[in-house]
Amino acid sequence: MDATHLHLILTHFPIVGTIIGIGILAYGQVFKNIEIQKVALATFILMALLTIPVFLTGEEAGETVENIPGISEQLIENHEELAEKAIWVMGLLGVLSFISLFAIFKKSSFSKAITIVTLIVSIVTFGLFAQVGNLGGQIRHSEIRTDSNINQGDNENSQNGEREDNDDNDDD
């Protein structure tokens, strides 16, 4: 198994695991169940750890597909740039989850507040990773691409001939 295959297998975990963790943590908050909250926080820590190999295999995965006909280098770049930001947010979620878990175990007075902050950060993290996943999916799935996603960035694709726009070439 190469890095590209590993990237494609693991890439779904941060997205799916985070949304599952959000549901578990929200349930634990609503019903004031500390044990359920601990499960959610452990889930977020696990997702943060799983995100590391996803990120580290991303560069090689990009190099594997960049020369395949029909693959937009701009889409790969957009995906990479957002992933670079998203991994920091996931790291923050992992650290907050660890602090929340520690606060719960120590029965600290701030455990409820930090757990609510963790829930909010987890929602932001999920939204960011859903967008990263969507951009990654567009690299090989042309059926979900839009022109605005392809053209994000500095529009070098149109200069490189990857995208033709013939609307202005009418010689009437």
| pLDDT above 90 coverage of the chain, percent | 76
Give 3-state DSSP helix, strand, coil % of the chain, rounded to 5: 75, 0, 25
pLDDT 10s digits, 135-159? 999 998 877 877 665 665 544 444 4
pLDDT tens digit sequence for 54-99 = 999 999 999 999 889 989 899 999 999 999 999 999 999 999 999 9
Res. 13: pLDDT tops 50: yes
Evaluate if residue 161 carries a pLDDT over 50: no
Q: How far is CA 84 from CA 27, 52, 58, 145, in A?
A: 31, 11, 10, 21
pTM more than 0.85: no
